[in-house]
Structures are given as C-alpha cells and as structure tokens.
Copies of this chain bind each other. A is one copy, B any other.
C-alpha cells in the first residue's frame, strides 16, 4: 500500500524526473503550499516506491561521496497515480493551530490576542501576493487564461486558484476577529 507521501512524490515525478534532494526542494515550493516533506522522509519513501516498481532511477556522478540518483516514473507508477487521483479522498482530520487559539481566545487578554491575529494577517497577505504572482506567471503561458485540463500547468493553476481564495478568506476572517477583540476595550 502506497502512502500519501508516496503519491505526492509520484505527482512530482510525473512532471519532472528528479533526485531525492530535488524532490525535497520541490516539496517546499510550489508543492509546499499544500504538501510538504523533508529529505529524511523522501529518501526512505523513494526506496519503497522503487521496491514496489513505481519508480526507477539512473545514476550519475554526484557532488559528494555517493552517486546521485535521478528518479523517474515507471508506466506502472504513472497509471497508479492516474488511478489514485480519481479515487474519492478519505475525510481528513483538520488540525488548525490558529483556529484552536481562536476557540480558546475568550480566556486571554483581548488586546494581546488582537495584536497576535493582526500580525498573522500580515503573513497571509505576503503569501497571497506570492500566489497571485505565480498565477499571473501561469496565465501568461496560456494567453492570459486557465491552462487546458490535460496540461501539467492546470494542476498548478487549480491549486493556486484555491490558495488565493483561501488566503483572501483567511485575511478577511483575521481582520474580523481582530476588530471584534479591539472593539471590546
């Protein structure tokens, strides 16, 4: 059985063959917007995928003491990914630190809490700008519109679209909650 991390790796390799190091880097951005993994998790997972016949690798001389391994999808890996995509996702237990704090905010000093939420807002605004820039970059490759659904860029575009609306929603909520707490002086 393949883990979700395994599918994340397959999704990356479907776009571009990579070393384990590169996969970990790509799992920071853009994959990191909705998935993340450290290299210490990637290397063992690649071995499992290899044993299961989903990926293969070619060796090349590496910079360090070991050879570097460039992994790519096998046909079996590609068809497994394709099949997994259309399976309904299992319901996920959401864990949101910020909402947990909001749930307990009535116990805290409203003024200090308002400052904390306002500071969060700034972080989300930065994120939003990044996403918007990325979307413009993708659109510019497709006559200013959304890419066709069979193009790899469609995956980027769809997730960016989600990310942008998500950040906007979160910013609006943060503004609302800071104002509620501010108004209680």
Given the contacts A96-B92, A162-B173, A173-B165, A106 and B155 also touching, CB distance less than 8 Å: yes
Flag if A149 contacts B110 (CB, 8 Å).
Answer: yes
A95 at the interface (CB under 8 A from B): yes
Contacts of A85 in B (CB 8 A): 101, 104-105, 107-108, 113, 116
Cα A172 to Cα B169 in complex, Å, equals 12
A177 at the interface (CB under 8 A from B): yes
Considering residues A81, A101, A115, which has the most beta carbons from chain B within 10 angstroms of its beta carbon?
Answer: A101
Flag if B120 contacts A88 (CB, 8 Å).
Answer: yes
Cα A109 to Cα B85 in complex, Å, equals 9
A102 at the interface (CB under 8 A from B): yes
Closest 9 CB pairs of A and B: A34-B99, A11-B104, A85-B108, A36-B93, A86-B112, A89-B97, A103-B155, A34-B96, A149-B184
A40 at the interface (CB under 8 A from B): no
Flag if B149 contacts A105 (CB, 8 Å).
Answer: yes
Least CB distance from A90 to B in Å reads: 7
Flag if A149 contacts B103 (CB, 8 Å).
Answer: no
Given the contacts A32-B93, A34-B100, A109-B82, A119 and B150 also touching, CB distance less than 8 Å: no
Interface of A is mostly: helix
Least CB distance from A86 to B in Å reads: 4
Q: Which of A92-144 contact B (CB under 8 A)?
A: 92-110, 112-113, 115-116, 119-120, 123
A74 at the interface (CB under 8 A from B): no
Contacts of A90 in B (CB 8 A): 97
A53 at the interface (CB under 8 A from B): no
